[in-house]
Amino acid sequence: MSTPPKLTPQARAAALEKAKVSRQERAFIKASLKAGDVFLSDVLDMAQKNEAVGKMRVADLLSSLSGVGKVRAQSIMEKIGISPTRRIQGLGVHQLLALRKEFSIPTFRGKLFVLSGPGGVGKSTVAKELRKNSDFWVSISATTREPRANEIEGIDYKFLSNEEFDREIAEDNFLEWAAFAGSRYGSPRRPVETALASGRNVLLEIEIAGARQVKQHAPEAILVFLEPPSWEELVGRLEGRATDSPERRAQRLLLAQEELAAASFFDVVITNDQVSKVVDRLLSLA
């Protein structure tokens, strides 16, 4: 076998530099996928023109998607028939189509709505009203938080232990999940998929990190941000609710400031000055 040609020191340095830039580019893409700033379809498009992106392993690409992880990435690849070491540039037309289909969730017929906003703005009040007065299917989340005095298991939340929540994550049973104010919250995947597939419009009442994950998996989801009429009104609602300890309320107000800053990421912003008006607006988007 002939030996490969010896590189000059300059050519070797240039090759090393090129490899370093490619690695940085791939790391940037993975971070952007995790943050929800780019979607799988964007990366597949980029891979056609950019060699560094084309050389990314499909397993790395999928497991970088927020909420996917190695186990689900592997099972999707098995389902589509993509070998574990395949790079994006080596994917066939059918495999590319199958991947795009997997992550655009096109079989959903109902519309997927996400309602987010700062704690105390009135999200659960609006969700309850919508459940009562429309045929929206409102998802019941799982949480590791302790139930409040007025909350009922299976109606307000499915209250899980940390171990139970870990198991749900390991079994890939959440469409999205996030940590918030010291507890974890997640939307059970199967009931949402079933409701959407049966043509129901679905509402997820979740915090902002979860909303970003949903947008990444289902770009067609309509992200609605509920804002308070004023900061003073928000403080008043949080205090008026009287379901949290003073420490927890203070923690939630701090978080609320960060949450308000996220409004621009959402498709629609609705001011909750009157619950019935918010419900009408949501129905008009359905």
Q: Which residues bind ligand 5GP (CB under 6 A)?
A: 119, 123, 141, 145, 176-178, 180, 185-187, 205-207, 210
The residue number with the shortest CB distance to ligand ADP is 122
Q: Which position among 184, 212, 237, 249 is part of the footprint of ligand ADP (CB under 6 A)? A: 237
Query: Distance (Å, rounded) from C-alpha 208 to C-alpha 206?
Result: 7
Residue 206 interacting partner from ligand ADP, ligand 5GP, none (CB closer than 5 to 8 Å by kind): ligand 5GP
Given a contact cutoff of 8 angstroms between Cβ atoms, the answer to whether 122 and 226 are in contact is yes
Q: Are 69 and 172 in contact (CB under 8 A)?
A: yes
Residue 157 neighbours by CB distance under 10 Å: 18
Residues 77 and 79: their CA atoms lie apart, in Å, by 5
CB of 143 to ligand ADP, least distance (A): 13
Tell me the two tokens of residue 13.
Answer: 């340095």
- Residue 105 or 275 having the CB closest to ligand ADP: 275
- Is residue 275 close enough to count as binding ligand ADP by CB under 6 A? yes
Residue with tokens 């104010």: 181
Long-range interactions of 75-82: CB distance < 8 A, separation 24+: 75/172, 76/102, 82/58
- What is the chain's Cα-based Rg? 22
Of 158-197, binders to ligand ADP (CB under 6 A) are none
Instruction: Give the shortest CB-224-to-ligand ADP separation in angstroms.
Output: 12
The only residue of 166, 274, 280, 285 in contact with ligand ADP, by rule CB under 6 A: 274
Number of residues that bind ligand ADP (CB under 6 A): 14
Chosen from ligand ADP, ligand 5GP, none, partner binding at 141 (C-beta under 5 to 8 Å by type): ligand 5GP
Sorted by sequence, the CB contacts under 8 Å of residue 26 that are 6+ apart come out as 52, 53, 55, 56, 60
* Residue 124 interacts with ligand ADP (CB under 6 A): yes or no: yes
- What residue 241 binds from ligand ADP, ligand 5GP, none (CB within 5 to 8 A, per partner kind)? ligand ADP
Residue (93 or 242) nearer to ligand ADP, CB = 242
**What number of other Cβ atoms are within 10 A of residue 211's Cβ?**
25
Chain residues binding ligand ADP by CB under 6 A are: 119-125, 237, 240-241, 272-275
